[in-house]
Structure 1
């Protein structure tokens, strides 16, 4: 199995919910150049399809991804490499990862709401967020 050329690194501060899919999503696109790299507590075999979301941030945004590789990590966890079946799932993953970055960008406080933090992150960091041709 050939994986992406580059991977977005998911921040460990935000826990993701990984749910195995029984059936593989339909895919007619060639492998996409950008994937997702994250630490998880369970082993997933290569080729397994997962539904991923960050319930602490949003219930509405989730995406499907295929396990490219899953190796033992540094703290008794696993380092999981994921690829996407199509541009839409990659776009959704990038959106969720940007939400994660916005969430951890600044400490939460009563003087800053999420919208203000989001605008600050977009101004400071969005241009540097990997897109790999999107």
Structure 2
């Protein structure tokens, strides 16, 4: 059983391997939780590697560090699981989670209701509707979010 709820995400991110080469890789986040994140990357990054995680669409600064927990081959890419390293990273991940949820809400309004919301409008609505109960309102299932 999972310790943390996974929140679906579809944001581009960068993962920088903290080694002598400081290799940086563009990744596509798939889900994120307080404990870690999964993403797709074009090259394997070995389990145990220490990495720094950035989400350029959210902030120019990296939001934290983690350790690669697993790396599995996929079709034309590798699936990567990153475990967050400390409470500060987990806190920042929570902020990224909220941004992901707001974007999912914006897309949902567009597809279900035909409403096209600007990001700031979506944020205002989402905060009013869901922020207070953030941890309990959203759960992940195989198809994404359940509102």
TM-score, length basis structure 2: 0.63
* Aligned position for 1:69: 70
By relative contact order (CA 8 Å, sep 6+), the higher-ranking structure is 1
Gaps of 5+ in 1: 24-32
Instruction: Provide, for residues 98-132 of structure 1, a one-character-per-residue CA deviation record: whole Å limited to 9, x for no partner.
Output: 21332343148xx74433211322323724357xx
Q: CA deviation at 1:6?
A: 4.4
**1:57·1:100 contact (CA, 8 Å) conserved in 2?**
no
1:101 aligns with 2:98: no
Report which of the two has the higher share of helix.
2
Distance 1:61 1:98 in 2: 16
Q: Where in structure 2 are there 5+ consecutive unaligned residues?
A: 21-33, 111-115, 140-147
What is the RMSD computed on CA atoms of the aligned residues?
Answer: 3.1
Moved over 6 A (4+): none
Taking structure 1 as reference, are residues 120 and 99 closer, same or farther at Cα in structure 2, changes over 3 Å only?
same
Paired residue total:
116
Give the equivalent residue in structure 1 for 2:19.
22
Match of 1:34 in 2: 35
Flag the structure with higher strand content: 2
